[in-house]
Structure 1
Amino acid sequence: MKSNDLLLDAFGRIHEAVAAVLEGSDGGSLLHRPAGSGNSIAWLIWHLSRIEDSQVASAAGLDQVWTSQGFAGRFNLKLPDRDTGYGHSTDQVDAVHGTPELLLAYYDAVHQQTVEFLKTLGDDDFDRIVDYHWDPPVTLGVRLVSTIADCLQHVGQAAYAKGLNPGSA
C-alpha cells in the first residue's frame, strides 16, 4: 500500500463519521452543549472541517475551501475568515451554527479538496517541510497525520455528544 492510499483511507473514515453524526441531527441537537459548557456538535464539525481545510490547503499551496467556495458567507459567522475555532470562548462556541446540510456540504467540499491533493502525492513528497515554526520543522507527512488525529478526536467527541442528547437520532 502506498502512503497516500493509507492517508486516503484515514481521511475517508473521517468523512464517513462526519456524515454519520450529522445524519438525523437537527438544529436543537446540533447546538446542544453537553453539561452546558461542552462543545456542540455544530461547533465540533465546523471546527474539524476548518482544521482540515486550513492545514491541507496550507500544505498543498491551495486556497481554503472556506473562502474560495463561499462557505464563510454561507455560514455568516461573526468570525474572521481565517478563524478555525482554536481557543474559542464559550460565547464563540455558542455562535457557531449551521444546518446538518450546510455542515456536511462544507465538510464534503473540504474532503474533496483533500482527496484530490492526496492523489497527487508520491512517497517522497511526505518528507517535504511544510512548517518551519516548530523544532524540528514539520513535514507534510507529519502535518497530515496530525490533522487526521485532530479530526478523528473531534468527530468522536461529536458522536459522543450526539449519543448523550436524547433528542438526537
Structure 2
Amino acid sequence: MNASTELLVDAFDRIREEVEATVTGLTPEEIAARVGPRANPIGWLVWHLTRVQDDHIAEVTGRAQVWTRDRWAERFALPFPTEATGFGHTSEDVAALGAPEADLLIGYHVGVHERTVSYLNRVKIGDLAEIVDDRWNPPVTLGVRLVSLVAEDLQHVGQAAYVRGLLRDGTD
C-alpha cells in the first residue's frame, strides 16, 4: 500500500467509525425521525451514503454491489429499484425507507466498508490517475472519484450525527 491509499483507507475507516457511533443505540423510531417535514432522517442518510459508496466502488472494481451480492436489498425490502442509491429521491421516497434497525444499517455499511478497504489495499499510486468516468469535463480520475466519495460520505454522516444530537438533546 502507498501513502495515498493509506490516507484513503484512514478516511473510510473514520466514516465507518462515525456511522457506527451515530447509529448505535438508536431505536427504529429515532432512526426514522425527521426533524423537519422534509428533513432527511438518520436512517436515510446512512443508507444513502452507504449505497453511494457501494455503487461507486462496485463500478470501479467491475464487481457486483454488496447490496445485491450479499442480499442487503432483500433484507431492507425497499420499494425502490435495486439500483437506487437515493440520488433524486423525493420526500416521499425518503419516508419509504421506514424505520430500519440500527444493526441492519451498520451491517450493510460494514460490508461495504470491508469491500472498499479490500479494494484500496490493491490500488497502486499510478491507478489514481486513471480515468474512471468520461461523462464529465474534465473526465473523472479514480483519485478524484474516491476523494469525492469521502467528501459525500463525511457530509452525510455529519448530518446524521447532528440529527442524533437534536433527537437526544445532547444527552448521550
TM range, normalised to the smaller chain? over 0.9
Match of residue 128 from structure 1: 130
CA distance in 2, matches of 1:145, 1:153: 12
Match of residue 42 from structure 1: 43
Offset from partner CA, 1:65-108 (integer Å, 9 cap, x none): 00011000000000001100011111110011311000000000
CA RMSD of aligned residues (A): 1.2
CA distance in 2, matches of 1:166, 1:24: 11
Match of residue 83 from structure 1: 84
Q: Report the alpha carbon displacement of residue 166 of structure 1 after superposing the two structures with TM.
A: 3.4
Match of residue 163 from structure 1: 165
Number of aligned positions between the proteins = 169
Q: Report the alpha carbon displacement of residue 59 of structure 1 after superposing the two structures with TM.
A: 1.1
Q: Secondary structure at the match of 1:130?
A: strand
Given candidates 136, 141, 144, the residue that maps to 1:142 is 144
TM-score, normalising length: structure 2: 0.95
Match of residue 108 from structure 2: 106
Match of residue 6 from structure 2: 5
The answer for unaligned runs of 5 or more in structure 2 is none
Range with greater deviation from structure 2 (75-84 or 60-69): 60-69
Letter in 2 for 1:7: L
Letter in 2 for 1:141: G
The answer for unaligned runs of 5 or more in structure 1 is none
Match of residue 119 from structure 2: 117
Task: Find runs of 4+ consecutive structure 1 residues off by over 3 angstroms.
Answer: 166-169
Identity %: 44
